[in-house]
Amino acid sequence: MLALLRRFPFTSALIAVLVAVFGVEIAQSEPSFWLLGHGQLPDIAVVGVVWAPAIADGELWRIVTAGFLHAGLLHLALNVYALSIIGTAAEARLGPWRTAVIFFAAMIGGNIAAMYFQQDSASLGASGGVMGLAGSVVVRVYRSGEGFSGSQWVLSAIVMTLAFGFINPGISNSAHIGGLLTGALVALPMGAGTPGAARRVGPSRAPSAPRRGPGGRPFGREPVNKRQEEFQRRIDEAVRKAAEERAREQSEQP
């Protein structure tokens, strides 16, 4: 745990904050909300979620605070799990400060998108920021010349998250898309000088052999590991269950 904190300080601190805020939600709500995401909102969520009429009245803090709130234990668990993979991937490539800038920019961008495109519903959750970090990893991998062979799971996570949002009307895909685009745009000028960035080699200078880490693996390439595979499996399972639930509801309608 201490090794994770030293290597990924921003991601570790962010996960701790999200869990702490959810602890407040638990203290202020019934089990129907903090377990299942149903029922009356706790006080902290009432004043913190994205709600277009309230923001129009001057409650601008909501576009920030909503990113730290979650509707139910599963909602929190999915975002924390995604952060543990996507957040660490972004932080390994961009460092903690750039990762923090991208996350907060994407979170705000996603919440603004939700405010404009879903004015009749509330929105909350860190997934806009997480999608922004995924977008930053894609930009970083492309610009550095690292290649996508070791980051296909990020692309899969983006596709499956958006697909799940389109299938389930209760998911704020506006926040996902807004966060993804914001994170990618903010990451564009951050390619140069980042850890492991590719350098141009002139015709009179041959490229040196890549530095290698433990086990002879080149630095800058992260192979798909069991945690990433499990993340992909859970996304696939969630999409499948949402599709089955939607089909069942449609078959029950007269």
Q: By mean pLDDT, which of 73-87, 161-175, 240-254 is the weakest? A: 240-254
Q: What is the pLDDT of residue 225?
A: 52
37, 1, 187, 136: CA torsion to nearest 10: -60
Q: Is the pLDDT of residue 216 over 50?
A: no
pLDDT of amino acid 229: 64
What is the rounded CA–CA span in Å between residue 102 and residue 205?
A: 35
Cβ(189)–Cβ(144) under 8 Å?
no
The fold of 8-193+221-252 is Rhomboid-like fold (1.20.1540)
Catalytic residue among 29, 127, 144, 172: 127
Domain ranges of the chain: 8-193+221-252
**Angle (nearest 5°) at CA 14 between 105 and 6:** 115
Taking the alpha carbons at both ends of the chain, their separation in whole angstroms is 53
* Res. 118: pLDDT tops 80: yes
Q: Among the options 29, 136, 151, 176, which is catalytic?
A: 176
Cα 185 from Cα 181, distance rounded (Å): 6
Instruction: For residue 22, give both structure tokens.
Output: 């959810």
51-77 residues labelled b (16+ CB within 10 A) or e (exposed): bbebbeeeeeebbebbbbbbbbbebbe
pLDDT mean over 39-63 = 95
Active site residue 127: yes
Decide if pLDDT at 155 tops 60. yes
Which two tokens mark 252? 């029950």
